[in-house]
Homo-oligomer: A and B are copies of this chain.
């Protein structure tokens, strides 16, 4: 684990952290005074880059094949002359009205087969040949005009890909995709989809529809392939855009902006085609149902998820809100200090950018009240402007962290196929399945123990981790059972839970005992029953070693213990006295199995045991303080983020604190929402 981490700088032209945001000058072309003032304000706030053109298609091409990029040229030039770089978006995120009118196949059909109408955004049909052709044309024009502009840093492909279409073109693409997936053999598909069920055998790929809401929903393999197809199809469209740009000039990096834990597409598939991952972070802050620390830990989960998709390089915080968003259930302002705290959270998890939606509020339409650096008021003395300006100064002090990256000895598995399959499974309770929450809770608990854990896929390399936690790994990709076996044999600590290894990649149940793929041998148990509790139900378990009790909610399995050691047993209900938590030594490692849903605190107790077995020492981080580390060459930057409204002192900290530019001697005290970035290689 002592390998030297190689520094990777995303933007050599920018010496430090990229500080930017989405900017829509095309809304203000009749107000050159405002465009000029914007540059003054941006410079004052330390903005060194803007994202342009995300929704500018109709500004470039007001009518089909009538192009005008003059305004963009002028704006990019002016910005560049003022030291502000540009990330340039392809405009496919929103299509012009003329396009929808001329090419109705551009408009999507919904899950009941009802065609939509022109409007909104991120909703072109990914299978429409007309849309594809028009995107190729506009992207190529854009590249031809701006690929060599000295201000250009990066291509931003489309915007926040969203949703599925059920039109005839998509239907045909789905059939072609399936035919390829099943080698053109309908019997392979029938078997994989268990199609004899309810007489649903297909004779031909042409008989297959998308899983319409008012159509076939009972074939779970079909439902899952539909999600995989849509990932493939959006990825195909994205690659088409990337290829079009690269045909003009190949060396400009590309990204697209992901969204939170968005479910529609397996982002890992898209990430493979990108140079950098980036995402738009909009947590619901200061809400009345959880602590700020809880809200922000979930935000950190996302940061780490996207960081781990490309572990050898930083990622980008493409969007965040100065002040507030305007589309959440309660549009509450960030309290003073939160803006810097959250921006540094992104950096602490491996981002080399702090970017905003948006630089200036537009006067009309549905985002007119979305937070921005520049308000309708238009001055440089608003609370929000001053907080951004202050952050701009802080970013200069940590410019050396750029290019440094994460590493960890511990990982948690989180997987789109599992999310989809768990959600679609007819089992447990749809009210309490909560796969995402369950994974996030384990990750958060490990983070609180100072582990700064990675988030990976079951297909990723396990070799660099001493311990891996895989909550509810219901669906197993091919080979994962063998991989876990080898990992444990080689000395790894692998922690699985209830509802693991029930189905294969096509959602067919394993025969002969869960978990399948040989894992019941590895863990030394078979799960005979998974029992769902009602919300008011509970059970209790007792740990053999220390008599500690733990509450069981939602799910409990009846385990057959083969050759595992029983660590805890049930206290009540029909499972009384049977095994609830087990471990089996297997080769040099251990395979741990948690057969019931426990609270994060009780999972903490189990992680104490597994970390001990892994030879990892946890670190005592005060409640409400987040701790993340970035590595670069021989450097190590430790981030401490105080999410508490009170001051807190962290012990065992030494090194040079970059924001205060002072040395830490053994401890550091952080005020409310304060941040420390300690270079401990000094």
Q: Spell out A's residues near B (CB within 8 Å).
A: 24, 26-27, 30, 55-59, 62-63, 91, 94-98, 101, 110, 112-121, 191-194, 196-203, 207-209, 211-212, 214-221, 286-288, 323-324, 326-327, 329-333, 335-336, 361-370, 375-378, 382-384, 425-432, 503, 506-514, 526, 528-529, 531-537, 558, 573-574
Looking at the assembled complex, report how far the CB atom of A139 sits from the nearest CB atom of chain B, in whole angstroms: 14
Report which of B198, B288, B367, B526 forms a contact with A55, defined as CB distance below 8 A.
B198
| Cα-based distance from A334 to B116 in the complex (angstroms) | 46
Given the known interface contacts A118-B215, A365-B220, A506-B364, the answer about A55 and B535 at a Cβ–Cβ threshold of 8 Å is no
Query: Cβ of A375: which chain B residues have Cβ within 8 Å of it?
Result: 528
Query: Cβ of A218: which chain B residues have Cβ within 8 Å of it?
Result: 119-121, 365-366
Is the Cβ of A199 less than 8 Å from the Cβ of B536? no
Query: Cβ of A511: which chain B residues have Cβ within 8 Å of it?
Result: 363, 376-378
**Which 5 A-B pairs give the minimum distances between C-beta atoms?**
A119-B216, A194-B364, A117-B215, A288-B534, A288-B536
Is the Cβ of B429 less than 8 Å from the Cβ of A330? yes
Query: Cβ of A207: which chain B residues have Cβ within 8 Å of it?
Result: 97-98, 101, 118
Looking at the assembled complex, report how far the CB atom of A571 sits from the nearest CB atom of chain B, in whole angstroms: 16
Query: Cβ of A573: which chain B residues have Cβ within 8 Å of it?
Result: 335
Is the Cβ of A110 less than 8 Å from the Cβ of B329? no
Given the known interface contacts A193-B364, A369-B425, A509-B363, the answer about A199 and B55 at a Cβ–Cβ threshold of 8 Å is yes
Given the known interface contacts A117-B215, A220-B366, A508-B363, the answer about A326 and B426 at a Cβ–Cβ threshold of 8 Å is yes
Looking at the assembled complex, report how far the CB atom of A251 sits from the nearest CB atom of chain B, in whole angstroms: 28
| Cα-based distance from A174 to B57 in the complex (angstroms) | 26
Looking at the assembled complex, report how far the CB atom of A75 sits from the nearest CB atom of chain B, in whole angstroms: 13
Please list 26 pairs of residues, one from A and one from B, whose beta carbons are closer than 8 Å in the complex, sorted by A's number: A26-B196, A27-B196, A55-B197, A55-B198, A55-B199, A63-B203, A94-B200, A97-B208, A117-B209, A117-B216, A119-B215, A120-B215, A121-B218, A192-B364, A194-B363, A200-B365, A219-B364, A220-B364, A220-B365, A286-B534, A287-B534, A288-B534, A288-B536, A330-B431, A333-B574, A369-B426
Q: Quick one: copies of this chain in the complex?
A: 3
Is the Cβ of A95 less than 8 Å from the Cβ of B376? no
| Cα-based distance from A97 to B175 in the complex (angstroms) | 15
Is the Cβ of A531 less than 8 Å from the Cβ of B332? yes
List the B residue with the shortest CB-CB distance to A116. B214
| Cα-based distance from A212 to B107 in the complex (angstroms) | 13
Looking at the assembled complex, report how far the CB atom of A262 sits from the nearest CB atom of chain B, in whole angstroms: 19
Given the known interface contacts A363-B194, A429-B331, the answer about A199 and B57 at a Cβ–Cβ threshold of 8 Å is yes
List the B residue with the shortest CB-CB distance to A286. B534
Is the Cβ of A198 less than 8 Å from the Cβ of B121? yes
| Cα-based distance from A326 to B531 in the complex (angstroms) | 11
Given contacts A329-B430, A333-B529, 15 further A-B contacts (CB under 8 A): A27-B197, A58-B196, A59-B196, A113-B114, A114-B214, A116-B215, A120-B215, A192-B364, A221-B365, A327-B426, A330-B431, A363-B508, A376-B510, A383-B528, A383-B558
Is the Cβ of A361 less than 8 Å from the Cβ of B120? no
Looking at the assembled complex, report how far the CB atom of A22 sits from the nearest CB atom of chain B, in whole angstroms: 12
Query: Cβ of A507: which chain B residues have Cβ within 8 Å of it?
Result: 364, 368
Query: Cβ of A532: which chain B residues have Cβ within 8 Å of it?
Result: 330-332
Is the Cβ of B118 less than 8 Å from the Cβ of A526? no
Looking at the assembled complex, report how far the CB atom of A312 sits from the nearest CB atom of chain B, in whole angstroms: 36
Given the known interface contacts A114-B112, A333-B529, the answer about A365 and B193 at a Cβ–Cβ threshold of 8 Å is yes
Query: Cβ of A335: which chain B residues have Cβ within 8 Å of it?
Result: 573-574
Query: Cβ of A512: which chain B residues have Cβ within 8 Å of it?
Result: 376-378
Query: Cβ of A327: which chain B residues have Cβ within 8 Å of it?
Result: 426
Looking at the assembled complex, report how far the CB atom of A195 sits from the nearest CB atom of chain B, in whole angstroms: 8
Looking at the assembled complex, report how far the CB atom of A123 sits from the nearest CB atom of chain B, in whole angstroms: 10
Query: Cβ of A208: which chain B residues have Cβ within 8 Å of it?
Result: 97
Is the Cβ of A431 less than 8 Å from the Cβ of B329? yes
Query: Cβ of A27: which chain B residues have Cβ within 8 Å of it?
Result: 194, 196-197
| Cα-based distance from A534 to B287 in the complex (angstroms) | 6
Query: Cβ of A115: which chain B residues have Cβ within 8 Å of it?
Result: 113
List the B residue with the shortest CB-CB distance to A192. B364
Looking at the assembled complex, report how far the CB atom of A553 sits from the nearest CB atom of chain B, in whole angstroms: 12
Is the Cβ of A332 less than 8 Å from the Cβ of B533? yes
Is the Cβ of A201 less than 8 Å from the Cβ of B58? yes
Is the Cβ of A96 less than 8 Å from the Cβ of B199? yes
Is the Cβ of B214 less than 8 Å from the Cβ of A59? no
List the B residue with the shortest CB-CB distance to A337. B574
Query: Cβ of A211: which chain B residues have Cβ within 8 Å of it?
Result: 119
Looking at the assembled complex, report how far the CB atom of A444 sits from the nearest CB atom of chain B, in whole angstroms: 22
Is the Cβ of A118 less than 8 Å from the Cβ of B216? yes
Is the Cβ of B362 less than 8 Å from the Cβ of A199? no
| Cα-based distance from A194 to B510 in the complex (angstroms) | 57
Given the known interface contacts A216-B118, A526-B377, A533-B330, the answer about A201 and B96 at a Cβ–Cβ threshold of 8 Å is yes
| Cα-based distance from A121 to B324 in the complex (angstroms) | 45
| Cα-based distance from A531 to B329 in the complex (angstroms) | 13
Is the Cβ of A94 less than 8 Å from the Cβ of B506? no
